[in-house]
Amino acid sequence: MVIGELGVVAGLLERAARVLPLTTADSPSPAQRPSYSLLDCSSSRAALGLESAHWRAALAEVLGSSELNASRS
């Protein structure tokens, strides 16, 4: 399930937006960009004693949280 679909399921969106991939070559910029990069948060998670969760599972949890649902009422 993609982000937009999670928004629909959570009742935040009427329908998911169509998102098309864009490469760095398709969007020229004066900034030099790596062709592939990831943010490594393992040392931060270790220092804070946090377990790693897949981003989709974490997003689904946030979208379904009682705090989020209460703020929409």
1: number of Cβ within 10 Å: 11
How many domains would you assign to the chain?
1
Residue 61: inside a domain? yes
In a domain, 36, yes or no: no
Q: Is residue 9 part of a domain?
A: yes
Residue 26 vs residue 68, higher pLDDT: 26
Q: Is residue 1 part of a domain?
A: yes
Per-residue H/E/C for the chain: CCHHHHHHHCCCCCCCCCCCCCCHHHCCCCCCCCCCCCCCCHHHHHHHCCCCCCHHHHHHHHHCCHHHHHHCC
Q: Is the pTM of the predicted complex or chain greater than 0.85?
A: no
Condensed to tens digits (0 to 9), the pLDDT of residues 18-46 reads 888 888 778 888 888 777 778 888 899 99
Whether the predicted pLDDT of 67 surpasses 70: no
Residue 58 lies in a domain: yes
Residue 40 lies in a domain: no
Residue 38 lies in a domain: no
User: Which structural domain range is residue 2 located in?
Assistant: 1-17+49-73
Judge whether residue 4 has pLDDT over 80.
yes
Q: Is the per-residue pLDDT at 15 higher than 90?
A: yes
Only one residue has tokens 């900034």, namely 31
Q: Is residue 68 part of a domain?
A: yes
